[in-house]
Amino acid sequence: MTKVQLFAVETDGIRPLPVPPNATSFDQLYGGLDLGVYSALRTFEHDKFLFLADHIARTRSSMKLLGWEEELDEERLRQALHQVCTAYPGAEMRVRFDYLASPPTHLGIQSRLLIGLMPFTPPSPQLYETGVKVDFAPDLARTNPLAKTADFAQARQAYKTGGDIYEYLLLSEQGEILEGTGTNFYGVLDGVFHTAGTGVLAGITRKIILDLAAELDIPVSLAPITVAQISQLSEAALSGSSRALLPVVQIGDEVVGNGRPGPICQKILAAYNEFVAQEIKTAI
């Protein structure tokens, strides 16, 4: 059984769809479809999720922001996710569910709800020990930051990561660091944990991390870090459902702090990992 899979979620169950030859990314998997809104997350312990309800709620919110009147059938989606993830041949997977702008009728499908699966390997422990380098995507922006739309996922492919660069950061017109192409961004300035409060996708992992920081009595600010402040940062990090909280040690040409992951982000990461162990659940 192939480890790259695509399914339509129909009223009477799931229906496997053809997978493009040599597809290794969700963008390739969903190529040729009338893209709409989506959410992507990872599994834990093969068939468990972290805050799946929040991912579903954000997808509903994205649909409403686009003016769609259709309803997302949560029960049917949960049943389908449980079925395909339980049967998946790999240990862990990346999961993406999409509500398309129109049905893929060329595939003989009327349902607009699709699920894609890809093999998942967590980031190397070494990345958390050494940190990563990031750069800027100066001409990339979200049209509607609060709506998680698949067209943005396609547009960010112009900034392919690899080599020394792990992620690219989006900037406001005022030079504020908003977020990464697929992550949220944080910077520690004078002991305060900063992340942009507006103009960014409301990441599920971001919400968890900000709540944990507050519980740890770490001062939090929703004032974004600016490019001019990078040299003053003691720490920086990225978050996402597949990355948890990943330290950043270089932004563009500037080294962050002493060039090593710092204690504030490490403390939050430890709390996050404990939180995950307690909160992961199956889809049903």
Other Cβ atoms within 10 Å of 115 Cβ, number: 21
Report yes or no: 5 and 81 within 8 Å, Cβ to Cβ: no
**Architecture of the domain defined by 5-119:** 2-Layer Sandwich (3.30)
For residue range 236-274, what is the model confidence (pLDDT) as tens digits?
Answer: 999 999 999 999 999 999 999 999 999 999 999 999 999
Residue ranges of domains in the chain: 5-119, 125-279
CB 236 within 8 A of CB 186: yes
Residue 162 has pLDDT above 70, yes or no: no
pLDDT score at 1: 56
Q: What is the mean pLDDT of residues 8-27?
A: 91
The neighbouring-strand residues paired with 82 are none
Output the pTM of the full model.
0.90
The CATH class, in words, for 125-279 is alpha beta
| Overall residue count recorded for the chain in this entry | 284
- Kindly state the tokens that stand for 17: 């769809």
Average the pLDDT over each of 35-44, 45-54, 153-162 and give the range with the smallest value.
Answer: 153-162
- Note the pLDDT of residue 211: 97
pLDDT tens track for 197-241: 999 988 999 999 999 999 999 999 999 999 999 999 999 999 999
Among 38-47, 147-156, 238-247, the range scoring the smallest mean pLDDT is 147-156
